Amino acid sequence: MRLTLRLSFIISIAIISCTRDSGEAVLSGTISNALSDRIILSAERIHYKFSDPEYIEATVGENGFFEFRLDLEGEQHFKLIYNNNSFPVFMKPGQKTSLSFHHAHFPGSIRVSGFGRAHYESLLAFLDETESLTRHMARERSRFVRSQPNEYLNAHRNKISRAKEFLGETPFSFLIYGYIGEYLVGRLHEIKLRKEDQNFNVDLARLSVLTEAQLQRFFSHESLKAQRAGIRDFSNEWIQTFGIQSRILSESQPVLNWVIAAGDEVRMHRLQLLDSITDPDARLHALMYFIAEELGDFDFQAGSAMLEEFRSELEAKPEYLAFLEHLHYELSLSQPGMEAIPFQLETFDGDFISLEDFQGTYLLLEFWASWCPNCARETADLIKLRETYGETDLQIVSVSLDESEEAWRAALSRINKPWIHTFDGNGFDQETFRSYRAGSIPYYVLIGRDGTILRNNDIRPSLNLVDVLDDLIYADLDHTYAGQN
């Protein structure tokens, strides 16, 4: 696998574990011509979106040297992150490994010596072997989603076969489960695309996918942990094979979110899928994901009810229950009626703004990114809102979740969005976004004149925000009129 970058330097890393039983492991290295002052190890997270990221950061010195010292309990996996690229590493107390690689080729062309050398070489051989196949899959996917003749799923099968050959007996075998998950999601999507075909048996096709998932051990705990987003992607595609999304969206009344609109039906199918999981640890992992998604992305009240319903079962996995209780508490702080969460943000022009600057007016926080198509679809309606209400009744602050300042500024130069814009380059780890425990974007929070939260992610400029604002402003006028009399 070869990535072409402009900068060129050598990174040499030594992963050293002391030979005692203390479990301390040291990862150190020297970066030649280093331009960044930090390098990161990223640890596994309970939930890919709603749990706090577990980053271990080391400072890169003037001479390019850095060092991590970790106390480990057995072998653990991390992602080594530098300059927005990553490479999987595994560390084991009592063992020594050294890696060296050229920045221009990172994460390819890595030289390995010491413990784990054969495993790393298998991984690198696999990445090199499947580089052209991965590009081919990307091209075939565009044909697949348009229901054109394609080799997308066959290419997936080929990649899984190669992964098993190269990685099956290595610490990187978890990657196989990730590829299997992507393939099964593709099979479910194919059912959605073909469900209107006259001779296509949806129920039989759905059963076939479920059977293959079980044969491939997709519903094992190890597999679900290896997926990009737990069981979320599989369950979302599974639900769509029942035609719920198309039915909801075909109804005359527009909806903010088809999953919320079909809430009870969606939850029923998720729980039925949960009953297909026989591995106790895997079932708890899937249950934790379902409740977290319900709390954070869909219906907080329904998620709260699920948490109470399954609390006794979740007690078997205290870390999952503790995570969900913490998530529930933090989300409760951003529900309508609560005081808005304070913030301080740097604007496009380099000024700083805070919540206190908007007292006396309605404030709409928009979380968006230049690469987000659903965000772009809201822009025209957001501009109309600004023209309708002006700055007196409504202020808008758009908080970018871009990681590239260049992409953010380029997007604003193409689109005239005449209100306040902020950027910090932290992506989905942007502090204000995370303080609201927001998940997907676009995400909108409406704050009242008195600084209380009025609506949280149940509004859209293209759907219901005009009606919401009209009701609020008319109520303000009625209150003012009543006070004068």
Residue ranges of the domains in the chain? 10-115, 131-332, 344-484
pLDDT bin (cut points 50, 70, 90) of residue 28 is confident
pTM of this prediction? 0.84
Amino acid (one-letter) located at 278: T
Per the rule left: phi > 0, alpha: psi between -120 and 50, beta: everything else, 116 is left
pLDDT of amino acid 181: 97
State yes or no: cis peptide before 107, omega within 30 of 0: yes
Mean pLDDT within 455-469: 89
- The CATH label, of 1.20.120.430, 3.40.50.300, 3.40.30.10, 1.10.357.10, for the domain at 344-484 is 3.40.30.10
pLDDT of amino acid 7: 36
Does domain 10-115 bear CATH number 2.60.40?
Answer: yes
State yes or no: cis peptide before 149, omega within 30 of 0: no
pLDDT of amino acid 196: 84
CA distance 422 to 432: 11
Q: What is the dihedral of CA 126, 132, 133, 136, to 10 degrees?
A: 160
pLDDT bin (cut points 50, 70, 90) of residue 34 is confident
Q: Lowest mean pLDDT: which of 13-17, 234-238, 358-362, 447-451?
A: 13-17
% of the chain with per-residue pLDDT over 90: 57
- Answer whether residue 8 shows pLDDT above 50: no
Does 10-115 match 344-484 in CATH topology? no
pLDDT of amino acid 261: 76
For the stretch 330-356, pLDDT in tens is 999 999 999 999 999 998 888 999 999
For the stretch 173-200, pLDDT in tens is 999 999 999 999 999 999 999 988 889 9
pLDDT of amino acid 309: 97
Angle at CA 88, nearest 5°, toward 106 and 188? 105
pLDDT of amino acid 482: 53
- Answer whether residue 378 shows pLDDT above 70: yes
- Answer whether residue 14 shows pLDDT above 70: no
Partner residues linked to 88 by β-bridges: 79
Mean pLDDT within 165-178: 96
